[in-house]
Amino acid sequence: MEERVKTDLSKFNPSEFDRGASSLKFFLWHWVNVIFFISPFCPSSAIRCFLLRMFGARVGKGVVISKPGVNVKFPWRLTIGNHVWIGEKAWIYNLDQVTIGNHVNIAQGAMILTGNHNYKSSKFETIFGPVTIEDGVFIGAKAIVCPNVTCYSHSILAAGSVATSALKAYGIYQGNPAEYKKERVIQE
């Protein structure tokens, strides 16, 4: 039997990743994130939005981040539109750009991921891809949006589902990987 190539994590080089900010800015954001976002000590959505803006995020009006446990990796790679709700323990792991449109609801425990590892490489290096969530989208509780995915206008990703490819406008998706189930019909 021939010897197969194996993963060798000692070859992984984290310095190949550009955080997009100085070490000081990254350090300061880490502690702001821990104290004001992840912990339950700050119940104010306005303060959280202000801090995101201070660290380079573009945040619209009427954004609600009032529950604890929200985790944002790099605010300088985040754009949030108007009247967006981000639920408790949502995680925006934005190693690449995350763009969230207007009137979006990201429910509790949802994850927006822009990075993964190249499992085909022995070095297991990190690979990146942006995420775009257009207007009116609903990302259900504990759902996951993977890198290079666009959730088009008013689509729904059901609770616990995993989006590995684009969600068409007004489509309702469920499962792992998420599959189209039916059209979303919004009533007055």
Give strand pairing partners of 161. Answer: none
Q: pTM for the complete prediction?
A: 0.93
Average pLDDT over residues 3-31: 89
User: What's the pLDDT score for residue 66?
Assistant: 81
What's the order of all strands across the beta sheet hosting 85-86?
Answer: 85-86, 105-106, 138-139, 156-157, 171-174, 179-183
Gap between the Cα atoms of 86 and 106, Å rounded: 5
Backbone φ and ψ of 50, nearest 5° = -60, -45
Catalytic residue check, 30: no
Check residue 38 and give left, alpha or beta (phi > 0: left; psi -120 to 50: alpha). Answer: alpha
- pLDDT band at residue 12, thresholds of 50, 70 and 90? confident
User: What's the pLDDT score for residue 172?
Assistant: 98
Domains and CATH numbers, the chain: 21-181 (2.160.10.10)
pLDDT digit string, tens, across residues 54-113: 999 999 999 999 889 999 999 999 999 999 999 999 999 999 999 999 999 999 999 999
Gap between the Cα atoms of 169 and 150, Å rounded: 10
User: What's the pLDDT score for residue 17?
Assistant: 81
- Give yes or no for a cis peptide into 130 (omega within 30° of 0): no
- Pick the catalytic residue from 30, 103, 117, 154: 117
Task: Work out the number of other CB atoms within 10 angstroms of the CB of residue 28.
Answer: 14
Q: What does DSSP assign to residue 141? A: T
Q: Tell me which residue of 51, 152, 143, 49 sits closest to 99, measured CA to CA.
A: 152
